[in-house]
Amino acid sequence: MAADALPVTTGVLRDTRRSLLLWGIAVAAVTAIYVGFWPAMGEGADIESFIENMPEGLVQALGYDQIATPAGYLRSTVYGLLAPVLLLVFAIGAGARLVAGQEEDGTLELELTAPIARGALLTGRLLALWASATVLVAIVTLTALALVSAIDMDVAAGNIVAASTALWLLVLGFGTLALAVGAATGRRTVGLGVAAGAAVVAFMLDAIGPAVGADWMTAVSPFSWYLDPNPLADGFQPRGLALLAAIPVLAGVLGLVRFRGRDLMV
């Protein structure tokens, strides 16, 4: 199946290369801007003064309780908010479009008439989504590593790689969910809505749980698996990475099973 899926993957990547380039420029620029703000934030005293004037619950919800440290600042800005938001918008949008979107506009029917198994077609498109997400996360990582080194920010390179690995799995999970739901239903809006809704709920559970003392909220939130404990301070977190890795695998398998069994009228 892998050999049959490869042409599909390369075809999708060739068709989407310009969009991927623009997304790469955007995530690199956002990462560079916010990492570059660190020296201007006063490296501690000014930020602590600002945080002390904010409500405690809001500080916890936004993850600002450690923002005065280099690792806390990166977590609260780039890795805790901007990078996941941008990359999830990309992955969920692409995931919903790659199968269900092209089924709705009729272009998928032409591909299905070719001598290629449905499983290989779906796998090829899924691999293209994962490859695109990998490129964008790599851009975030390399930009962060370069800027952190340039401004002598006290965050270990290995910890940045650990946070990027968790970010990558988080993005793969929700992107795959969008593709799988779209493949299972044939409706792009359903895939988009389910994956985006799940991401918002996961983010809210992670933000609200500590503020209201509800541990179960953080226990079930992929955002908590991603950033608690903070990999930028504590390095790789095997339990969180294992839980995050399970999402794209399970979603991909279920989407594949349902896509194979659907009546696509081809």
Give the pLDDT of residue 99.
93
Chain segment 235-247, per-residue pLDDT in tens = 999 999 999 999 9
**For residue 108, which of 118, 60, 174, 145 has the smallest C-alpha distance?**
118
Whether the pLDDT of residue 233 is over 70: the answer is yes
Give the pLDDT of residue 212.
84
Distance CA 50, CA 37 (A): 15
Mean pLDDT of the 164-184 span = 97
Chain segment 121-133, per-residue pLDDT in tens = 999 999 999 999 9
Residue 44: which pLDDT band, with cuts at 50, 70 and 90? low
Q: What is the pTM of this model?
A: 0.92
Whether the pLDDT of residue 57 is over 80: the answer is no
- DSSP line for 51-115: HHTS-HHHHHHHTGGGTTSHHHHHIIIIIIIIHHHHHHHHHHHHHHIIIIIHHHTTHHHHHHTSS
Q: What residues contact residue 146 under an 8 Å CB cut-off, 6+ apart?
A: none
Residue 109: which pLDDT band, with cuts at 50, 70 and 90? confident
